Amino acid sequence: MTKWRSRETGSRSARAFLGVLLLLSPLHAQSPSSSAPLVPELQRAEANWAHASTALRAAEEEAQKAEEKVERLRALYARGLVARRDVEWAELEAQTARARLAAAQEVERLAREALARAREYAERAAERERQQHRVARALVRVARSYGQGRFTMSDLAALMRAYERRFGLPLPISAFGQTPTHHRLGLDHRGRVDIALHPESEQGRWVIEYLAQRGIPYIAFSDEIPGSSTGAHIHIGLPSLRK
């Protein structure tokens, strides 16, 4: 009987106590769309959670001790060794401890959820940053020349002959005019040719030199650029137009 009644009172005061904690808690200031610096936000969430976990463990211990004290005093009271009032006082203490425990559990749960959100947000931001770095690096490693702005079939035929003479192998053409890949990327690749050579390889440098000397436009891709090319290659002709 006493137990049920005290539990109910306990949960009422737990709610009141929780309200106070939430008003005081910095958790409230956090929002996923916050533009505050990322790392401090994650650190704050981690610190909040660590603090809440410590408080929860302390509240658990306190509630356990208070419960044990009640049991002890009840036994002593049954043997007539302590006053009824002592038992009642211990019961009140245990009630308060349970209320604090319930509040600490709720605060810990909220802090844990906030931390999970902060981690997810940080991970997404880091991924965006990695993406931007990739693009930036790739852009740095693109060399282009508009030359005379002209590239014809006879230019290509002459290049193929010269390349084969020089290296004893056919020019590795990976895309001749429009291809499904370029179509998928939304690029008009008509009148353009891709050569599967790394611009920094011996053959690649030779081809670029050849094109530069003759004023033939090219773009040398040393890296992948999302939405633009699918890896290192030399594009001959003016840049592809967006369709």
Interacting residues with Zn ion (CB under 5 A): 192, 194, 235
Residues 176 and 151 sit within 8 Å (Cβ to Cβ): no
Please list, in sequence order, all residues whose beta carbon lies within 8 angstroms of the beta carbon of residue 72, skipping any fewer than 6 positions away: none
> How far apart are CB 151 and Zn ion at their closest, in Å?
11
Determine the Cα–Cα distance for residues 211 and 147; give it in Å rounded to an integer.
8
Helix (H, G, I), strand (E, B) or coil at 218: strand
What distance, in Å, lies between the first and last C-alpha atoms of the chain?
A: 79
> How far apart are CB 133 and Zn ion at their closest, in Å?
24
90 vs 220, which CB is nearer to Zn ion? 220
Residue nearest to Zn ion (CB): 235
CA distances from 218 to 147, 171, 189, 205, 206 (A): 8, 15, 13, 12, 13
27 vs 159, which CB is nearer to Zn ion? 159
Tell how many helices (H) and how many strands (E) occur in the chain: 6, 7
> How far apart are CB 143 and Zn ion at their closest, in Å?
14
Q: Is the dihedral of CA 201, 203, 206, 211 positive or negative?
A: negative
Determine the Cα–Cα distance for residues 68 and 73; give it in Å rounded to an integer.
9
98 vs 235, which CB is nearer to Zn ion? 235
Beta bridge partners of residue 188, listed in sequence order: 241
69 vs 235, which CB is nearer to Zn ion? 235
100 vs 235, which CB is nearer to Zn ion? 235
> How far apart are CB 175 and Zn ion at their closest, in Å?
6
> How far apart are CB 150 and Zn ion at their closest, in Å?
16
